[in-house]
Amino acid sequence: MVGDGEIAIVASCPSIFSVVGSASLKFGDKAGDFHNKNAKMIHFVLLISRQGKVRLTKWYSPYSQKERSKVIRELSGVILARGPKFCNFVEWGGYKVVYKRYASLYFCMCIDHDDNELEKLEIIHHFVEIMDRYFGSVCELDLIFNFHKAYYILDEILIAGELQESSKKTVARLITAQDSLVETAQEQASSISTIIAQATK
Amino acid sequence: MALSGMRGLSVFISDVRNCQNKEQERVRVDKELGNIRTRFKNDKGLTHYEKKKYVWKMLYIYMLGYDVDFGHMEAVSLISAPKYPEKQVGYIVTSCLLNENHDFLRLAINTVRNDIIGRNETFQCLALTMVGNIGGRDFSESLAPDVQKLLMSSSCRPLVRKKAALCLLRLYRKNPDVVNIDGWSDRMVQLLDERDLGVLTSVMSLLVALVSNNHDTYWSCLPKCVKILERLSRNHDVPQEYTYYGIPSPWLQVKTMRALQYFPAIEDPNIRRSLFEVLQRILMGTDVVKNVNKNNASHAVLFEALALVMHLDAEKEMMSQCVALLGKFISVREPNIRYLGLENMTRMLMVADVHDIIKRHQAQIITSLKDPDISIRRRALDLLYGLCDVTNAKDIVEELLQYLSSADFAMREELALKAAILAEKFAPDLSWYVDVILQLIDKAGDFVSDDIWFRVVQFVTNNEDLQPYAAAKAKEYVDKPALHETMVKVSAYLLGEYSHLLARRPGCSPKEIFSIIHEKLPTVSAATVPILLSTYAKILMHTQPPDPELQDRIWAIFNKYESCIDAEIQQRAVEYFALSRKGAVLMDILAEMPKFPERQSALLKKAEDTEIDTAEQSAIKLRTQQQTSNALVVTDQRPANGSLPVGQLSLVKMPSISSTAGANAIDQGLAHADGTLSIVDPQPATSSADLLGDLLGPPAIEDPPGAAVSAQQNVVPGLDLEGASNAADALALALVGVQSNSVQPIGNIAEKFQALCLKDSGVLYEDPYIQIGIKADWRTQHGRLVLFLGNKVTSPLDSVQALILPPTHLKMELSLVPETIPPRAQVQCPLEVVNLRPSRDVAVLDFSYKFGTTVVNVKLRLPAVFSKFFQPISLAAEEFFPQWRSLSGPPLKLQEVVRGVKPLSLPEMANLFNSFHLIVAPGLDPNPNNLAASTTFYSESTRAMLCLIRVETDPSDRTQLRMTVASGDPTLTFELKEFIKEQLISIPTPTPVPAPAHQHQNQQHHRHSLQGQLQV
């Protein structure tokens, strides 16, 4: 019965009557939003090749290992089958998946059904542009052999399923700084190992 | 740019790529996993650098889709490596492999915390990123203050602070208490002044999450948001690197407008004006351009602006602009824009009165229903569904039917259900409805659930005019060579009941009807055979004078099935055979099915329950909320009804009926404004038993609708009698209901009231437009209630009036109630209560408002009841007994034997007492069958007064007990005694319980009758 449910909600949250007038009331809440009622976030990012191979996965909502495999399997089936002239949105299991194909790769983001689709679509493009700049005309091979770089870059763009930086320049600068940190450390390591090697000769 | 220094990894990746097939790949991967496992086992000699290599390999293998069930510990342990390269790998791989529920993560909390509070900026970033991506509740509890510090710190650079903002957002999602601290809203205001747009973007995401849960606290952020939006939209002071294809950070614009949608309304006229200027500029100034990214970004902003306009629902002028824009969008070729146009049009239907304007685009929408892209088809279907009304139902439903034959499987069930609902809701005439459903079954039988054909049977049964038509239609279908089984079922049922009405038409003699139905028998499953047998029995009964040849044939069939392995079929065969030999008696037993009681359409319910898809639930919701003009059937449905869902279809002209037992009991004593009580037409209620139950359910003669009802009334606690005999007593106000309103309340008012008698906050009343909540605080004889009047819709509610009708013992003062509640706003009206003397009378709130031209007036009991002035006190034996003895005899101590008590076990009874603050002291009374309880009562006349209660129960007869009540005030003693009596006799608390139990019972009853349908 409707009434009971409402009362239960009211009783459990201290700001009781905030239910009234919230936007969630307007568009209807998705019961299956299993993580947070009010989270309008990217639940995961998925890169799959045309052959259905996974090139990157990043989960911002807690999916178990089993769920992850299931999601990938189901979603590749849905997205790879879509025609080139179709729209970039797929309604899928109570969520929406915004995707875009670049050459042989499909970039997918799973969002809530009432989130802003086009905005997320351009986050994908933003990500691709940054990688393009970093690798110099990025291709699938770059992402295969340097998959860890893709993760570094993604971490500078998204946190908690939200956009953290929309300036390409800033992201590029941070990634370069990280790279040089790693390199310096390695040079040091190798010079130390040379010293040790020489000393123990 | 190869993996510097990680040749092994590159080689491995190449190897995997060179594998000819999946099997080879598996062999290679297994080998590598074996290798890594061995290395990790001899952990001793492994340097961080080596670990790093293996951990990357693990991640790669994991990405390929193989189970990697070891090595998590190694990944986590890298987090504590001292050097950046290893630490970085540790953080990143951990956040990829594990999710927030993983136990290993807890082990890392200390290291992570040290990195966050340490001075190394790069380490801070790594830690914040991981916590932001996979931090769970544990992290929330231990890290939130540190993360807050970083976010607020003026010495931290933007790159740390933006990560801190999003990290905090994650922690907040896991545990909202992390920002429920004093002054956090002020800090948010301060953060919105941020100059760095990267930080501001992250902060805005955080704000969206905060206001979506609790906008009240963050009012002060609203002006800042509007400022930010203004600045962006004018491209004022936005660094080049933050423009995206020439658009000033579209993401920040979208986020800001999203945040604004969580505030119910904007009251400050200046801020409002500025915001509308911005919105106007966005709506008018967005053009379609060639560059796809620019186009997407500008439209992302535009659609968010549309959503904000819909939310603020301001000047109608702007709304029509929005509709015009959407009209343009749904006709463009570009699929994304068309998709979003359709989606937003559906949303607009829900918030604004634009039905007629959108209807003009119907043809265009139907085109999209045939789009090759299923995403677009879904949106179009949903929009059509929302758009349908009496005027266009024929077109739309026929369009859906046509589409049904070519639709893909993924959509058929949804389509069938929606078509059925629309046909039912908006049928211009009944025969059309029958046509539609039969077509539906014919075209998509596999996707037509039983509910759908049950429903059509209900209609036909309840509308005599329709019966010959339906029978003729059914005959037409049965004449076809190939038939869906569902069609066989429904046709056989209809022909069994009504084919005699066709008798004079050619080809419709009983014999012929029997033959065409019987032809189908070999093709149907065991579930359908019983229906066919019933049909044969009915045909036999209708054949007057009897036709010996037909009789022989049918008897032969019954004979054949007498040994059927299926018990249902067997039983029917045996019984029908026996019955059909009884001659005239058969006529009575097989008489026409009685009419079905009116009820909510099970289809609508189903549509609400089904999770076909999310966005369209919106439209379904809309459907169920709609008041429909119903051409379909006549009904004199009673307007005032506690729990009848709105917008439902009434089956047939029937006397007033209420849908639940609980409401019925209360409706018996419907009180009028002047306080006099009138007994409402005691037409019995009819249960809302399950559908199937009714369809095949109770045999006509044994169980006419009325009989079921009288039984049901027993289920209802004896409240009605009490009320009726006690007209002068205010208790009879048990329900003060909604009177002659066309707006139906949501949920049961009486139940809400009962719930509020036991707790201090909750919803008092709700309908599609308004929600009235109550929060109360009781101290001694004083009470402070706050009424929360929440406007649920996007237009204002006018002529709001709240009048308190207090009983004489309460002094009540309601603060001023504003005449208008703005769209989506909530107003709070404090109400002061002073209890002057003991009484069980109840105060009533006479509340009315106007929505459009509809005036809604409700009278609601206020939960300022007797028991609210009790304060629990528990007494020890040495305090209790002297008091008990000192109060001797009437009128201070009253004793009564109460009969007809609802049987309760002692613990249950103790709970009941405790829930009213009558605190039971266990063991106080030496007799284990007795209860002793005490409380303090507060009023102006009595001040704090101790009340003592003793209940002696009879274990052999739980329906009676002896009760003794004592206090220092005769009125109090009397009132308290009566109060307790009421509680014991009516037990109002678990009112919802009887209903489902009863339904269940009914269901069982039905099963029984199904099998023994014809037993005499």
Domain identity same for B114 and B238? yes
Question: A107 pairs with which residues across the strands?
Answer: A47, A100
User: Which band of pLDDT confidence, cut at 50, 70 and 90, is reported for residue A169?
Assistant: very high
What tokens appear for B860 in the block?
A: 């609601």
Query: B311-350 burial string, b = 16+ CB within 10 Å, else e?
Result: bbbbeeebbebbbebbbebbbeebbbbbbbbbbbbbbbbb
Query: Is residue B321 a part of any domain in this protein?
Result: no
Residue A54 lies inside a defined structural domain of this protein: yes
Kindly report the nearest CA distance between residue A84 and chain B, in angstroms: 10
On whether residue A138 sits in a domain, the answer given is yes
CB contact under 8 A, B166 and A165: no
Instruction: Tell me, yes or no, whether A68 lies in a domain.
Output: yes
Same domain, B65 and B180: yes
Do B723 and B667 meet the contact criterion of CB atoms below 8 Å apart? no
Average pLDDT estimate for B680-687: 38
- Which pLDDT belongs to residue B14? 93
A16-20, A172-176, B49-53, B533-537: least confident range:
A16-20
d(CA B737, CA B857): 9
B500: DSSP letter: G
Q: Is B100 on the interface with A (CB under 8 A)?
A: yes
Distance of alpha carbon B801 from alpha carbon B966, whole angstroms:
42
Are B842 and B940 in the same domain? no
Preceding omega of B990 cis (within 30 degrees of 0): no
Q: Rounded to an integer, what distance in angstroms lies between the CA atom of residue A80 and that of residue A101?
A: 10
The answer as to whether A181 is a domain residue is no
The verdict on whether omega for the bond into residue B822 sits within 30 degrees of 0, i.e. cis, is no
Please indicate, yes or no, if residue B822 is contained in any of the structural domains.
yes
Mutation pick from A34, A91, A97, A115 vs chain B, by most beta carbons of B within 10 Å, is: A91
Q: How far apart are CA B984 and CA B960, in angstroms?
A: 10
How do residues B62-98 score in pLDDT, each as one tens digit? 998 888 888 888 889 899 989 899 999 999 999 999 9
Which of B456, B455, B446 lies closest to B415 in space, CA to CA? B446
Closest-CA distance, B124 to chain A, in angstroms, reads 13
Q: For residue range B361-373, what is the model confidence (pLDDT) as tens digits?
A: 999 999 998 899 9
Using a CB–CB cutoff of 8 Å, tell me whether A102 touches chain B. no
Indicate whether B51 and B193 sit together in one domain. Answer: yes
Q: What is the mean pLDDT of residues B102-121?
A: 91
Query: Chain A residue with minimal CA distance to B69?
Result: A65
- Domain-located, residue B322: no
What is the predicted pLDDT for the residue at A39? Answer: 63
Least Cα distance to B1013 among B553, B584, B598, B537 occurs for B537
Asked whether the bond before B545 is cis by omega within 30 degrees of 0, the reply is yes
Any CB–CB contact under 8 A between A95 and chain B?
Answer: yes
Structure tokens at A123: 């986050």
Nearest to B448 by CA among B424, B406, B419, B473: B419
Within 10 angstroms of residue A25's Cβ, the number of other Cβ atoms is 16
Q: In whole angstroms, how far apart are CA B627 and each of B203, B390, B426, B655, B682?
A: 43, 12, 11, 21, 27
Neighbours of B82 (CB within 10 A): 8
Nearest to B51 by CA among B11, B102, B90: B90
> Would you call A26 and B347 a contact, using CB atoms and an 8 Å cutoff?
yes
Residue with tokens 């602009």: B321
pLDDT band at B541 (very low <50, low <70, confident <90, very high): confident
pLDDT class for B732, splitting at 50, 70, 90?
Answer: very low
Nearest to A160 among B133, B310, B762 (CB): B133
Quick one: B707 and B760 in the same domain? Answer: no
Interval B257-273: pLDDT, tens: 999 999 988 889 899 99
Binding-site residues from annotation of B = 7-8, 49, 53-57
The reply to whether B376 touches chain A by the CB within 8 Å rule is: yes
Phi-psi sector, B834: left (phi>0), alpha (psi -120 to 50), beta:
beta
Q: What is the mean pLDDT of residues B457-462?
A: 87
Question: What average pLDDT does the structure give for chain B?
Answer: 79
Share of chain B above pLDDT 70, in %: 81
Name the residue among B215, B296, B992 with its Cβ closest to that of A4: B992
The residue out of B235, B257, B279 marking a domain boundary is B257
Amino acid residing at B626:
Q
Confidence at residue B216, expressed as pLDDT on a 0 to 100 scale: 86
Q: Which of B401 and B406 is assigned the larger pLDDT?
A: B401
Lowest mean pLDDT among A139-153, B83-97, B228-242, B457-471: B457-471
Task: List strands edge to edge, sheet with A89-92.
Answer: A54-59, A42-49, A105-112, A95-102, A89-92
| CATH code of B924's domain | 3.30.310.10
Whether residue B685 is predicted with pLDDT greater than 50 in this model: the reply is no
Q: How far is CA B170 from the centre of its chain?
A: 27
CATH at B16: 1.25.10.10
Q: Pick the most confident of A61-65, B351-355, B693-697, B817-821.
A: A61-65
Contacts of B265 (CB under 8 A, 6+ apart): A21, B312, B822, B823, B824, B825
Q: Does A148 sit within 8 Å of B3, measured CB to CB?
A: yes
Residue B735: which domain range? Answer: 727-864
Spatial contact of B561 and B573, defined as CB atoms under 8 Å apart:
yes
- Give which of B296, B310, B757 to mutate to test A binding, by max A Cβ within 10 Å: B296
Q: Quick one: how many helices (H) and strands (E) in chain B?
A: 42, 18
pLDDT tens-place string over residues B273-300: 999 999 999 998 888 888 999 999 999 9
Residue B881 burial by Cβ neighbours in a 10 Å radius (0-12, 13-18, 19+): middle
CA B982/CA B912 separation, integer angstroms: 12
Contact B258/A26, CB-based, under 8 Å? no
pLDDT in tens, A85-108: 999 999 988 899 999 999 999 999
Nearest C-alpha of chain B: how many angstroms from A101?
14
3-state SS class at B716: coil
CATH code of the domain in which A23 resides? 3.30.450.60
> Is residue B856 located within the same domain as residue B948?
no
pLDDT category of residue B605 using cuts at 50, 70 and 90: low
Place of tokens 């998509």: B444
DSSP codes joined into one string, B720-782: HHHHHHTTTSGGGGGB--B-S-SSPPSS-HHHHHHHHHHSSEEEEEE-SSEEEEEEEEEETTE
**CB–CB of A94/A112 below 8 Å?**
no
pLDDT of amino acid B742: 67
- CATH number assigned to the domain comprising residue B822: 2.60.40.1230
* Structure tokens given for A97: 């998946």
Residues B833 and B913 in one domain: no
**Chain A residue numbers touching B205 (CB-CB < 8 A):** 160, 162-163
Domain that holds residue A127: 15-166
pLDDT range class, residue B428, cuts 50, 70, 90: confident
Residue B662 belongs to a domain = no
Per-residue pLDDT band for B710 (boundaries 50, 70, 90) equals very low
Least confident piece of the model among A146-160, B604-618, B931-945: B604-618
Residue B178 domain flag: yes
- Between CA B297 and CA B299 the distance in angstroms is 5
- Residue A91 is predicted with a pLDDT of 92
Residue carrying the six token digits 């990357």: B56
d(CA B865, CA B778): 11
- Taking an 8 Å cut-off on Cβ atoms, the answer to whether A7 and B83 are in contact is no
Q: What is the pLDDT of residue B741?
A: 54
ipTM of the complex: 0.82
What's the structural domain count of chain A?
1
**Confidence band, pLDDT 50/70/90 cuts, at residue B953:** confident
Name which of B652, B659, B709 is nearest B688 in CA terms: B659
Is B28 a domain residue?
yes
Q: With an 8 Å Cβ cutoff, are B63 and A56 in contact?
A: yes
What stretch of H or E contains B196?
none
Are B963 and B844 within one domain? no
Mean pLDDT throughout B781-794?
Answer: 86
SS3 B896: strand
pLDDT tens digits, B970-1001: 889 988 988 888 888 865 444 333 333 343 43
First to last CA, chain B: 90
Rounded CA separation B653/B659 (Å): 15
Answer yes or no: do B42 and B140 share one domain. Answer: yes
Q: Which residues of B546-583 are buried (b: 16+ CB within 10 A; e: fewer)?
A: ebeebeebbbebbeebbebeeeebebbbbbbbebbeee
The answer as to whether B96 is a domain residue is yes
Number of domains in chain B: 4
Looking at the domain assignment, is residue B500 inside a domain?
A: yes
Domain termination site, one of B574, B592, B610: B592
Question: Whole-angstrom Cα distance, residue A37 to residue B336?
Answer: 27
> From the CA of A97, how many Å to the nearest CA of chain B?
11
Decide if A7 is inside a domain.
no
Alpha-carbon distance values, B395 to B347, B358, B620, B732, B859 (Å) = 22, 15, 19, 51, 43
Q: Name residue B483's amino acid.
A: L
Which of B592, B624, B657 corresponds to the end of one domain?
B592
CA distance A125 to chain B (A): 8
d(CA B874, CA B936): 9
| Helices B602-609 and B409-426, packing angle to 10 deg | 140
Across the interface, of B162, B759, B761, the residue whose CB is closest to A165 is B162
A147 within domain boundaries: yes
Q: Is the pLDDT of residue B681 over 80?
A: no
Cβ atoms within 10 A of the Cβ of B870, count? 20
What pLDDT score was predicted for residue B291? 92
How many whole angstroms separate alpha carbon B451 and alpha carbon B652? Answer: 18
Do B844 and B879 fall within a single domain?
Answer: no
**Mutation for testing the B interface, residue in A36, A68, A87, A173 having most B CBs under 10 Å:** A87
Cα–Cα distance measured from residue B128 to residue B75, given in angstroms and rounded to the nearest whole number: 17
- Selected residue with higher pLDDT from B236 and B702: B236
How many contiguous H segments (helices) and E segments (strands) does chain A have?
A: 7, 7
Section B682-697 average pLDDT? 37
Residue A201's pLDDT is 57
- B898 shares a domain with B804: no
Residue B684 three-state SS = coil
**pLDDT tens figures, B173-208:** 999 888 877 789 999 999 999 999 999 999 999 999
Is the minimum CB–CB distance between B67 and chain A shorter than 8 Å? yes
Residue found by looking up tokens 């000699």 in the block:
B45
Cβ atoms within 10 Å, residue A32: 11
**pLDDT above 90 for B48:** no
- Separation in Å, CA of A168 to nearest CA in chain B: 7
Tokens 């009374």 belong to: B925
Residues 6+ apart with CB under 8 A from B635: B598, B650, B651, B652, B653, B654
Do B136 and B222 sit in the same domain of this protein?
A: yes
Spatial separation of the C-alpha atoms in residues B179 and B502, rounded to whole Å = 74
Max CA distance (Å), chain A: 83
pTM of the model: 0.64
pLDDT at B1002: 39
Q: What number of CA atoms fall less than 13 Å from residue B829's CA on the CB side?
A: 21
Q: What is the pLDDT of residue B608?
A: 60
Provide the chain A residues 141-160 that lie in CB contact (below 8 A) with chain B: 142, 144-149, 151-152, 155, 159-160
Helix (H) or strand (E) holding B532: helix B529-542
